[in-house]
Structure 1
Amino acid sequence: MTRPPEVLSTRPAAAAVIVPPPAAPVVRPDSAALIAERADRERPPLPSLTGSRWWAAFAVFVLHALVFLPVYPFQKSELFRHIHEWVPMQLGAAGVTFFFVLSGFIIYWSFRPGMTARAFYRRRVLKIYPMHLLAAAAFIVVASVPLSRLIVWVPNLLLVHTWVPKWTTVGGLNVPSWSLASEVLFYLSFPILLPLIRRIPTRRLWPALGLLMLAIVALHTSYFLWTDGPKGIANAFAPRLVPGDTSPYYELHASPAWFVQPDIPVSPSYWLSYNFPPSRLPEFFLGVLAARLVLEGRWRNTSLTLPLVTLVAAYAATWVVPVNYKMSVLLLPPMTAVIATMAVRDLHGIRSLNSHPRMVWLGNVSFAFYLIQFPVMVVITRYLIGGKEFGILGWAGFTLLCLVVATIIAAGLYHWVDTPIMRRFARSRKAAKRRSVPA
């Protein structure tokens, strides 16, 4: 390359004047505009969102420990009834709702421009199905599921079981996996609807978010008004008790009698509001829109006080609304606000409990923990609880044991199954070769 000709001064060298370059504008490193620009360009990790996944999984675990650990005579006591009044079904439902909104946020955040739909689907399949199939296989073994009853386990393995309004399929195998059927629909629809999401002008993101929330309210209101199901405000999901004070060897959903039933009906209103995948799809796209708000600098709040207070108030309100609203509708606005605010705090470098490395690790293993918790409860019920009598301390001890065992197994699944699979197969060979060639 040739150098440009030098410009010679007509003044003596001693009198040369050095003109400094114009000063660059001073930009605060924590300004909202700079953070939004950096986030859109780099998509940095969001450790608080990863850590928060553990609390959602833990909420589901607490409810399942109360309902799916048949510890007698404790489960027949007034104490149990009072505890269940304070730990109703909407606790676990709140955890699932958080997962759905967070899933939309993270999927949009991690979707890079230029990523093909094929590459996206490859990653999603590898992230969900190996863990799901291992947990399902564990449940089939520990619960002695009859393989001849194809209706029980085949729809579950394929993750299409919640499309049918029958408990035979919805609760036919590893119960927590019902939410994965909704996740599959989310992932299938994301590349298809992404061009429409990107066409929304930045200035209209807030109206779009509000309209989507109104659509969710209208949808569940239609279920409440025009489908059969409970219309009262009583909290659901109380366990079905068996005679006597001796703990049974099987929880209801893992009993041999459960698997041989030809048909177990479910309330249409409840199923449509809670289990039917298309009904939960808008919650996923609330998270997608929230991610756009953060990336484009339209969500700037860094204080969690108001979002958390609003979330607590919304959760308290679930005690006084019908089941169609208590499972997700009331919680969606504050949960979306909490997720978006935690993301902005991460972008500003604000440390919190959820961003601590130990919480991030728990968040990473939370998916495996969510899936393996129920098979662990079945094993402990069959071999440690069944045939004996326990009170509140016995239930608390077995709950703690399930928590420890499920966490250890989940850690093994994450480190020895999920991580190697994603590293080895998540990218195509052609993409891996391109990444290995130095620039």
Structure 2
Amino acid sequence: MTKAAEENQTQPPAVPAADASTPPPGAPVSAFPGESGAPPSSPSKRLPRVESLTGLRWWAAFFVFCHHMTNLAPLPIFDFLKYGTSGVTFFFVLSGFVLTWSAQPGTKIRTFYRRRFARIFPLYILTLVAAFFVFYRVDPPAGMSWIKPVSVSVLVLSALLLHGWSNNPTILYGGNPAGWTLSVEAFFYAYFPFVWRATQKLKVAGGLILCVAVLVIGGAYRLALFHYKADIPVLPQPVLHSVAFLFGIGLAIALRSGWKPRIPVWFAFVVTGGGLWLLWYSGSHPTQVPGAVTMGLCQKEILTLLYGFLIFAVAARDIRGGRSLLRSKPLVALGQWSYAFYLVHATILYAIKEYHGIAGPIGWANLTWYAGVLVLSIFASAVLYKFVEHPMERLLRGPR
């Protein structure tokens, strides 16, 4: 399955608001839509780009890929790789962060919406068509649960990015299974211009209060849902994941306002990795970890905090001018291709699974399958970026 944009600014935020019709090379992209990370600017001053976020985004997409590959070639660390799904939480935090960081006063809302559409929709529709031939049949074969009967209503909802509002798995994961996250992102884009305008005057304290508030509200809802499920409705995915998006907005507000604590990036990686391990361990050995049940229920909020911490540390280092391997040309290129990679890798994987079946029993020998599917998916994403995603975005975004 992984994976944004700008608000009403000059270049699309997060899709940054820049005023250029195409984002500058190496600019970080927000979440799935991936835009440039060229920062906001006042008419006289432009914030520095946080290019390392582009390279970092690739690793989040790769984590999602590793999770999906367990359906074809399971590894001994199968249980831990299920946390690859958390890569989408990373994308949602990153989307709010980059959109806010690159937002520029003066961009019209309709301009923002047009640029977001140009960024995500052409490639999304193309990969939806490709996914149809892998995930749908008039008469689905037995024993292949991922292949579903053709449903015009589900496909239409998917094409309109409305399927994420249903918690029915058949609808939610309809069309291209990875597309549900784009449905969530579309909701973020719809309200971002209004959140941006409402929060422009917030400073460091306001941004951090927003971060704490959304985590508390999100965690409280999940705990209440667990204890009083009969009395509390289950919210749709776009609303639930708004916690991560708004958290990213709060972090960007704090950073824009001058809060740049010196957090070693290696330390941020250690904390994030350690947090993921603790979530896995507490879920596998709940009796050995105090508060394991609460941690499991509030997992999304914990992941939001962990990934937000990592994103903030990487962005702050870029602003200070520190060196970063994440800004290397190979990782920046992979980051630019990551949106296409996210949309096509599952389609490729399941096409192989249909004709070959499971690679074999659980074992490290299955890493050869990971390498092969990874190379094929990267090649496909590079081609899609060069010949579809990038040129279509330039065409539809309009003149500078």
Does the TM-score normalized on the shorter chain lie above 0.5? Answer: yes
Aligned to 1:325: 298
Aligned to 2:17: none
Instruction: State the Cα distance separating 1:148 from its structure 2 match.
Output: 4.9
User: Is residue 40–residue 104 contact of structure 2 (8 Å, CA) maintained in 1?
Assistant: no
Distance 1:165 1:207, change over 3 A: closer
Taking the aligned partners of 1:393 and 1:298, their CA distance within structure 2 comes to 44
Instruction: Show CA shifts across 1:92-146 (max 9, x none).
Output: 2321111000011111122221001001001111111111111111111233444
Match of 1:375 among 329, 339, 347: 347
Aligned to 1:198: 200
User: Is residue 151–residue 168 contact of structure 1 (8 Å, CA) maintained in 2?
Assistant: no
Instruction: State the Cα distance separating 1:277 from its structure 2 match.
Output: 0.9
User: Is residue 203–residue 257 contact of structure 2 (8 Å, CA) maintained in 1?
Assistant: no
Q: In the alignment, does 2:237 pair up with 1:276?
A: yes
Q: In the alignment, does 2:327 pair up with 1:355?
A: yes
Instruction: State the Cα distance separating 1:403 from its structure 2 match.
Output: 0.7
Q: In the alignment, does 2:56 pair up with 1:83?
A: no
Unaligned regions of 5+ residues in structure 1, if any?
A: 1-36, 229-267
Taking the aligned partners of 1:361 and 1:103, their CA distance within structure 2 comes to 19
Distance 1:162 1:144, change over 3 A: closer
Taking the aligned partners of 1:171 and 1:206, their CA distance within structure 2 comes to 34
Instruction: State the Cα distance separating 1:375 from its structure 2 match.
Output: 0.9
Please tell me the residue identity of whatever aligns with 2:320. H
Instruction: State the Cα distance separating 1:390 from its structure 2 match.
Output: 6.4
Match of 2:113 among 116, 121, 126: 121
- Give me the CA root mean square deviation: 2.5
User: Is residue 308–residue 334 contact of structure 1 (8 Å, CA) maintained in 2?
Assistant: no
Match of 2:133 among 138, 141, 149: 141
Q: In the alignment, does 2:367 pair up with 1:396?
A: yes
User: Is residue 359–residue 366 contact of structure 2 (8 Å, CA) maintained in 1?
Assistant: no
Taking the aligned partners of 2:100 and 2:166, their CA distance within structure 1 comes to 29
Taking the aligned partners of 1:369 and 1:387, their CA distance within structure 2 comes to 22
Matches within 5 A, 1:25-174: 41-67=45-71, 69=72, 82-87=76-81, 89=82, 91-146=83-138, 148-174=150-176
Instruction: State the Cα distance separating 1:387 from its structure 2 match.
Output: 8.8
Instruction: Show CA shifts across 1:361-388 (max 9, x none).
Output: 10000010001001101221233x1398
Instruction: Show CA shifts across 1:20-67 (max 9, x none).
Output: xxxxxxxxxxxxxxxxx9976213321100100000000000000002
Instruction: State the Cα distance separating 1:281 from its structure 2 match.
Output: 0.8
Q: In the alignment, does 2:358 pair up with 1:425?
A: no
Aligned to 1:211: 213
Taking the aligned partners of 2:203 and 2:302, their CA distance within structure 1 comes to 27
Aligned to 1:414: 385
Taking the aligned partners of 1:178 and 1:289, their CA distance within structure 2 comes to 24
Taking the aligned partners of 1:389 and 1:293, their CA distance within structure 2 comes to 49
Please tell me the residue identity of whatever aligns with 1:65. M
Match of 1:288 among 243, 249, 264: 249
User: Is residue 56–residue 95 contact of structure 1 (8 Å, CA) maintained in 2?
Assistant: yes
Please tell me the residue identity of whatever aligns with 2:69. A
Please tell me the residue identity of whatever aligns with 1:124. R
Q: In the alignment, does 2:307 pair up with 1:335?
A: yes
Please tell me the residue identity of whatever aligns with 1:380. I
Provide the TM-score with structure 1 as the length reference: 0.71
Distance 1:149 1:211, change over 3 A: closer
Please tell me the residue identity of whatever aligns with 2:123. M
Query: Which protein, 1 or 2, shows the higher relative CO under an 8 Å CA cutoff with sep ≥ 6?
Result: 1
Distance 1:387 1:310, change over 3 A: closer
Distance 1:391 1:302, change over 3 A: closer
Instruction: Show CA shifts across 1:171-204 (max 9, x none).
Output: 2332121111110111001012222212434443
Taking the aligned partners of 1:282 and 1:391, their CA distance within structure 2 comes to 36
Taking the aligned partners of 1:205 and 1:329, their CA distance within structure 2 comes to 17
Q: In the alignment, does 2:177 pair up with 1:175?
A: yes
Please tell me the residue identity of whatever aligns with 1:298. W
Instruction: State the Cα distance separating 1:346 from its structure 2 match.
Output: 1.1
Taking the aligned partners of 2:215 and 2:254, their CA distance within structure 1 comes to 15
User: Is residue 203–residue 254 contact of structure 2 (8 Å, CA) maintained in 1?
Assistant: no
Distance 1:310 1:39, change over 3 A: farther
3-state SS in 1 of match to 2:104: coil
Q: Percent identity?
A: 29
Distance 1:307 1:224, change over 3 A: farther
Larger Rg: 1
Instruction: Show CA shifts across 1:347-370 (max 9, x none).
Output: 222122211111011000001000
Please tell me the residue identity of whatever aligns with 1:223. L
Provide the TM-score with structure 2 as the length reference: 0.77
Matches within 5 A, 1:221-232: 221-227=223-229
Distance 1:197 1:38, change over 3 A: closer
Please tell me the residue identity of whatever aligns with 2:46. E
Taking the aligned partners of 2:370 and 2:199, their CA distance within structure 1 comes to 43
Taking the aligned partners of 1:285 and 1:324, their CA distance within structure 2 comes to 20
3-state SS in 2 of match to 1:172: coil
Instruction: State the Cα distance separating 1:393 from its structure 2 match.
Output: 6.1
Taking the aligned partners of 1:306 and 1:391, their CA distance within structure 2 comes to 33
Taking the aligned partners of 2:359 and 2:243, their CA distance within structure 1 comes to 46
Taking the aligned partners of 1:389 and 1:103, their CA distance within structure 2 comes to 37
